[in-house]
Amino acid sequence: MKFTWFNLMPWPYLPDDFREKNRSVWVDIDQKLFDPAKSHEVYNTYMDLLEYADTLGFDGVGVNEHHQNGYGIMPSPNIIAAGLARRTKDAAIVVLGNSIALYNPPVRVAEEFAMLDCISGGRLVAGFPVGTSMDTNYCYGQIPSLTREKYQEAHDLIIKAWTTREPFAFNGRYNKLRHVNIWPRPIQQPYPPIHIPGGGSVETYDFCIDNTYSYSYLSFSGYLRAQALMSGYWKRIEERGVDKSPYRAGFAQTILVADTDEQAEQLYAEHVSYFYNRCLHVYPGFADAPGYRTIKTIQSGALSQYAPPRGGYATLTWKALIEGGHVIAGSPETVRQRMEDLIKGLNVGNIFCLMHVGNMPADKCMYSTKLFAEKVMPKLRDMFPDWADDNRFWTTPLEKRVTSGRLPKEAPTSADLAKTYALGA
Amino acid sequence: MEIKSVQVRDITVRYLEGGSGPALVFLHGTGGVTAADPFLNALAVKHHVYAPMIPGYGDSDEAPEIRDMLDFTLHTWDVVEALGLKDPILVGHSMGGMIAAEMAAIAPNDVSRLALIAPAGLWDDEHPVVDMFASLPFEMPQLLFHDAQAGAAILTAGRNVEDPGFLQAYLVANARQLGMAGRILFPIPERGLSQRLCRIKAKTMIVWGESDRLIPPTYAQAFKTGIASAQLVSIPEAGHMVIVEKTAAVVEAVSTLG
């Protein structure tokens, strides 16, 4: 199993009446609700928590990209990842990912991911999402029905840039480049493992299968509701006659651990409510630009996960969220059982653990994270012994890596240098 | 009106045809066009009307290779050619008006009579065109009609919104139609027409509903200023769907072209 500690980086100061006074947490969210001075502490606390997860033995630390969004103040995940590459030691840096259709030209992604891989010593997991309609179409102005074509071209260009060892010309429809020759290139060969976040587009299944990429379902509605979508993926895997390695799939799950089930509710209910009521308050007009999803996907019946459930999330209580599987919370034993159900039920080897939720303060987050790392994670480690050696979807770091802070405390004197270098009199 | 097909290279284009008189090509807006369209039928009283559907509309083929404004403009010229028409009266509503204006600008000697009914294609920061791609179905009557209540009845007529099959059919149609329309209208319905308007030589009739809340009537002036031989007819108590709300008045304005 690979456990990645994930932080969406929500803005924790949305007011109590946010839903009543605002139409959307995303795209046209009120500028006045963001306080740059407060964000200084928010960002640094969130990065501290990601670094803390590394010290507890999580396999990865995860970041993602959203724009103009009150629950994800991370328009550039690579900036956070750069900080993590320096300040973490062993965890994979899981960037899930860069919306590659939005980068102009997309070689920028090939370069930045290469830099992250080099700085981290080969610890990068590279995610290539199409991007939500909110981000891609409404915030970044991409034409909905051309987004996938542009994405595909960006993907082809990045892979070619990573794997070609001499300058080449790229005559794409969206990118005309005479001299592609990225410098640096990634440590991991032929390139870092690639994860594709998807939301039920059937075309994405084949894209992952064709390229040996891991398919990640990043949902907020939990593992019970994910069953239909993931079984569609595994059915496709079977049809295509490829192996059923659980590492071909990833799943994001909100997880909260306490000493007891009751304590979990006492500690975390308000933060879960904050997330589901305020952070997921997306204006339906921004949920799904016409043309963004393919006809085939619409016909398959998969609706945007940002289309709220009938009645809306607001009506969901702690009990309902737990029973519905949106949130896995409780004592270490409760969480272990439910995680086992999730892992077996969905056959997923990569878990993106959403362990910071809503406006949760750092102390509670550390407490829950530590309990999970010490009392739950070890018991789930060997769920798939048959696939223990499958490293196609995970990182291959350098064995000998350096970390930040290795310089001597004092700068050398010329006498010191003379011991190493030939210096004139 | 009769529904027919014409082949434009590998694309099968569906079009409506009816009436008799001078040849007139009508280019529809983002909502598409049907044989029952009252405006088309009114035009057909004195004109031989051809109303081609943009790829993706109705049951016409999709055309993935039509991506940008030039593709739309040339494709529609190819349709006119395939229909065997020379210098028809060119009429466009909303998105269709944008395409018609581009056609007249790119081939100014081939269009002598042009009618632009609440066309898209220009942008003014002071008077932004409403983002129809972020508008919800229940908002449409208010945006499209002077009389929102009557408009709502028109938009929902014959549709059973409680039918589970309806939603999926609606989403598929939206993805096909608005997905295609978005290629020239999303996120801002402007693709450089303002610098080409001056090329238009056609006698041009601009028609606008005075209560147009989707593309405010201030754009009528911009079109009139940009096109040398343009005349403006403003129609009171009509919204963006002026062709539905004041059909006779629009037909009368178009008929002055011939």
Does A290 sit within 8 Å of B133, measured CB to CB? yes
Q: What pLDDT is attached to residue A315?
A: 64
Closest CA to A273 of A254, A301, A253, A259: A254
For residue B251, pLDDT beyond 80: yes
Q: What is the mean pLDDT of chain B?
A: 96
Lowest mean pLDDT, pick from B8-12, B111-115, B192-196: B8-12
Q: Searching chain A, which residue's CA lies closest to the CA of residue B172? A: A295
pLDDT at B127 over 80: yes
pLDDT in tens, A87-134: 999 999 999 999 999 999 999 999 999 999 999 999 999 999 999 999
Per-residue HEC secondary structure of A44-67 comes to HHHHHHHHHHHHCCCCEEEECCCC
Nearest CB to B134: which of A138, A143, A299? A138
At residue A281's C-alpha, the angle toward residues A129 and A351, to 5°, is 40
Whether residue A304 is predicted with pLDDT greater than 80 in this model: the reply is no
Least confident of A88-92, A309-313, A385-389, B11-15: A309-313
User: How buried is residue A155: exposed, middle or buried, by Cβ count under 10 Å (0-12/13-18/19+)?
Assistant: buried
Q: Determine the distance in angstroms separating the CA of B186 from the nearest CA of chain A, rounded to an integer.
A: 6
Is the interface score ipTM higher than 0.90?
yes
Query: Least CB-CB distance to A298: which of B134, B171, B183?
Result: B171
Quick check: A146 and B183 CB within 8 A? Answer: yes
A133 touches chain B (CB under 8 A): no
The answer to whether the CB atoms of A291 and B175 lie below 8 A apart is: yes
User: In the prediction, which pLDDT does A4 show?
Assistant: 98
Give Cβ neighbours of residue A105 (< 8 Å, ≥ 6 apart): A157, A175, A177
Q: What residue type is A9 in one-letter code?
A: M
The pair of three-digit structure tokens given for residue B92, joined into one six-digit string? 């466009």
Which of A145, A152, A297 to mutate to test binding with chain B, by most B CBs within 10 Å of its CB?
A145
pLDDT band at A303 (very low <50, low <70, confident <90, very high): low
For residue B45, the one-letter residue type is V
Task: Report percent pLDDT > 70 for chain A.
Answer: 96
Candidates B61, B139, B178, B186, partner chain A, best to mutate (most A CBs within 10 A): B186
pLDDT value at position B61? 86
Residue type, A225: R
Report chain A residues whose CB lies below 8 A from the CB of B136.
284-285
Residue B136: its pLDDT value, please? 92
HEC-encoded secondary structure of chain B: CEEEEEEECCEEEEEEEECCCCEEEEECCCCCCCCCCHHHHHHCCCCEEEEECCCCCCCCCCCCCCCCHHHHHHHHHHHHHHCCCCCCEEEEECHHHHHHHHHHHHCCCCCCEEEEECCCCCCCCCCCCCCHHHCCHHHHHHHHCCCHHHHHHHHHCCCCCCCHHHHHHHHHHHHHHHHHHHHHHCCCCCCCHHHCHHHCCCEEEEEEECCCCCCCCHHHHHHHHHCCCEEEEEECCCCCCHHHHCHHHHHHHHHCCC
Q: Provide the residue type at B65 as one letter.
A: E
- Chain A residue numbers with beta carbons less than 8 Å from the beta carbon of B67 are 146
Domain range list for chain B: 2-255
Task: Match 């946010």 to its residue by tokens.
Answer: A18
Distance from CA of B185 to the nearest CA of A (A): 9
Residue B91 contacts residue B250 (beta carbons within 8 Å): no
pLDDT tens-digit readout, A321-374: 999 999 999 999 999 999 999 999 999 999 999 999 999 999 999 999 999 999
Tens of pLDDT, residue by residue over A16-41, are: 999 999 999 999 999 999 999 999 99
**What is the band of A301 on the pLDDT scale with cuts at 50, 70, 90?**
low
CB contact under 8 A, A285 and B178: no
Share of chain B above pLDDT 70, in %: 100
Q: How far apart are CA B168 and CA A306, in angstroms?
A: 17
Whether chain B has a CB inside 8 Å of the CB on A143: the answer is: yes
Nearest CA in chain B to A290: B175
**Overall pTM > 0.90:** yes
Looking at beta carbons, which residues of chain A come within 8 Å of B135?
Answer: 285
CA distance A173 to chain B (A): 11
Residue B98 has pLDDT above 60, yes or no: yes
d(CA A5, CA A2): 10
Choose the closest CB to A298 out of B172, B180, B188: B172
**Over 90: is that where the pLDDT of B240 sits?**
yes
Q: Given this model, what pLDDT does residue A296 score?
A: 84
Q: How confident is the model at residue A3 (pLDDT cuts 50, 70, 90)?
A: very high
pLDDT of residue A312: 56
Report the alpha-carbon distance of residue B37 to residue B42 in Å, rounded.
9
Q: At the topology level of CATH, where does B2-255 sit?
A: Rossmann fold (3.40.50)
pLDDT tier, B100 (very low <50, low <70, confident <90, very high otherwise): very high
Nearest C-alpha in B relative to A137? B187
Q: A201 pLDDT exceeds 80?
A: no
pLDDT digits (tens, 9 = 90+) for B176-233: 999 999 999 999 999 999 999 999 999 999 999 999 999 999 999 999 999 999 999 9
**pLDDT band at A300; cut points 50, 70, 90:** confident
The pLDDT score that the predictor gives to residue A203 is 84
